Amino acid sequence: MTIGWDEIAWDGVALPGIAGKVALVTGGTGAIGGRVTMALAAAGMRVGVMGRSPDLVHRQTCEVPPALGDRLLAVPGDVSDPADATDCVETLVERCGRLDVLVHAAAIGDSGALLAEMTVAEVDRLHAVNVRGTLLMAQAAAVPMRAQGGGSMILLASVAAGRAGPRGLMYGATKAAVVRMARQLAIELGPDGIRVNAVSPGQTPTVLRGVDERPGSPAMASPGGNEEAIPLRRRGRLDDYAGPVLFLASDLAAYVTGTDLLVDGGVAIRR
């Protein structure tokens, strides 16, 4: 899935510390990752788009308005592969000279299996993408960020990290690990001038990648939810998540690190 450029609403955005900087977005061909990619590029950043499908990455970086010129760069790769994580970061730094922002949006959903139905293969794949992938991308991005004296890492988590339900056992567990890593990395990398934060979306009209799907395979629609249980009475829109990411990437958030920013319409505060 790619998001049409005619849907973008971020042209002309001016935030301090954005224009001219370089970002890498993992899961950049997905719904939230794709919209974040557009927002960062429209705000003046050069953006590397990372995804498992070279064809989707190519489409996402080539089907762009002429006004954006060469702001998007294709860096296909699998976040769960140590070599790919390192190569994608090094390729972007070689082409752009630096890396200022990592937006880690790559993730897969679980099958909704209950405890007795959960398989070791599913657990291992979820951990590989959602947890190991987060660690590998943070490791790789920290190298150039330390060398240049700072940067911002934004890790996409989920309200499922702290809000239990009848399904989603392992997905929620892996997203809780992402929130925990953001807090720990904020402490470790803070002295190097690197800020690390999580963003936790709520119910979103996004797409889900399954455990066994091949790169570029059709995505599944996100299941609907009870909008009456959301204080703002609606599901999240993609631009709802692009805005907070832009904020955390910019100098407006220069003193913000180690936080989990809930972008959920207030659903997490309900019992």
Structure tokens given for 90: 């090094």
- Is residue 255 annotated as a catalytic residue, yes or no? no
Burial of 59 (0-12, 13-18, 19+ CB in 10 A): middle
User: How far is it, in rounded angstroms, from Cα 156 to Cα 146?
Assistant: 22
- Is residue 21 annotated as a catalytic residue, yes or no? no
Among the options 175, 200, 241, 250, which is catalytic? 175
At 82, which helix (H) or strand (E)? helix 82-96
Among the options 80, 111, 152, 158, which is catalytic? 158
The answer to whether 189 and 197 are in contact (CB under 8 A) is no
Q: ∠ CA(165), CA(167), CA(168), 5° rounding?
A: 95
Separation in Å, CA 232 to CA 80, 218, 229, 235, 267: 36, 31, 9, 8, 8
Structure tokens given for 182: 């953001």
The answer to whether 220 and 210 are in contact (CB under 8 A) is yes
- Is residue 241 annotated as a catalytic residue, yes or no? no
Among the options 111, 171, 241, 250, which is catalytic? 171
Active site residues: 158, 171, 175
